[in-house]
Structure 1
Amino acid sequence: MKFKVNHLAILTAATLVTTPVLANDWQGEANDAWLDGKLETSLLLNTELNNFKIDTDIESGVAVLSGEVNNQTQKELAGEIAQNIEGISEVKNNLTVDENYRNEDNDDDNSFSRTWHDMTVTAGLKMELAAHDELEATAIDVSTDNGVVTLKGNVKNEAEKDLAVEMAKGYDKVVEVNDELVVTN
């Protein structure tokens, strides 16, 4: 029995097989666009940077970072992220540091990332307190603002108070804990 060869099926199969190979061998502007997308995504996923204030451009594998960051550490972090992208051969880090940036009372701290972390800390800490047998978690109110956790409410003794405060201090992204718990007997 003879099989009829479908030229369209062969062409489709050949295209599907070679597409991944071609994706790794992009050249020129297409490769630069691919690298720029990888860099933008990497900056977006890093919670320590505000990628909306960082502009990227790739030309012939050379990444150029421009825009503004809050401190020298963020500038260096953005440069390291760019340097670690496979295919980027050089990084020109033209980011400037905002000399007027202050960590407290800054509108940038109310960014999506900070708000997300605050909500995550509040919800996670409430769950941890509720799961702990030694605490009456329903009597403890937890709120988080700019990484500062405030604990309010009543606890039975100093040991419960200390435990709740230590749990909050140990939580990721918490910069300070305001202890407003009251011991009631």
Structure 2
Amino acid sequence: MKIKKTALALATASVLAAPVAMADMNDWEGQSKDAWLDGKLETALMLNTELNNFKIDTDVDKTVVTLSGQVSNETEKELAGQIAANIDGITDVNNELMVESETEASDEPNVAEQFASDVNDLTIQAGLKMRYATSDGLDGSDIDIDAEGGVVTLTGQVPSNAAHDLALEIAQGYDRVRDVEDELKVVN
């Protein structure tokens, strides 16, 4: 009889403890989902070139997003809210972003835009160097490439007018090049 009472007490205790354990598991799953949604949102904001995601803070609680921080204008505030609302799994967005005054916005350099521009310039330089090195028409050329803001400056020496024209044509046709400044010299 004593064994039955003990077994009954243990069974009752485990049945009563199960909802507590399930609640802890559901809470963990909810926090995990919120963290996953926050990561998706941060990535979406980072990939958008119109926003400075370094100034936008995100918080996800029970699939509801709160955006805080600063943006340059109302359009950026609305865009950030729309990006958040379009993330699958987010149920609501509290857009508490503040719009900077015009003087604040113009005094601070946009770090994200400058970083993207620098990466673009380095990509252009490396790509053009590779194309020039593998081009048969530019044998014997000594071309220096500088890129700033998508504007490429070519300096150095080429062996012929044909090599000069080819170097310019390659640079002008390269992806993300806005303009080419020609400072090449033809040396026979």
TM-score range, shorter chain: 0.5 to 0.7
* Correspondence for 1:120 among 100, 120, 123: 123
Tell me whether 1:63 sits opposite 2:65 in the alignment. Answer: yes
Q: Which stretches in structure 1 are left out of the alignment for 5+ residues?
A: 1-21
Residue 43 of structure 2: aligned partner: 41
Query: Residues 81 and 134 from structure 1, CA distance in 2 versus in 1: closer, same or farther, beyond 3 angstroms?
Result: farther
Give 3-state SS (helix, strand or coil) of 1:33's partner.
helix
Secondary structure, aligned partner of 1:88: coil
Q: Bigger radius of gyration, 1 or 2? A: 2
- Cα gap change, 1:160 to 1:44, in 2 (>3 Å): same
Of 86, 89, 107, 1:87 maps to 89
Measured on the aligned residues, the alpha-carbon RMSD in Å equals 3.7
Write the mapping of 1:149-168 to structure 2, written as runs, cut at 5 A: 149-168=152-171
Q: Is the 8 A contact 1:110 1:146 kept in 2?
A: no
1:32 equivalenced with 2:34 (yes/no): yes
Q: How many residues matched?
A: 159
Higher helix share: 2
Distance, in Å, in 2 between the alignment partners of 1:72 and 1:165 is: 42
Q: Is the 8 A contact 1:43 1:51 kept in 2?
A: yes
Aligned partner of residue 143 in structure 1, secondary structure: strand
Question: Which residue pairs with 2:12 in the alignment?
Answer: none
- TM-score calculated relative to the size of structure 1: 0.62
Could you state the TM-score of these two structures normalised by the residue count of structure 2? 0.61
- CA gap 1:91/1:131 in 2 versus in 1, 3 angstroms: farther
Distance 1:136 1:99 in 2: 52
Q: Percent identity?
A: 51
Letter in 1 for 2:88: E
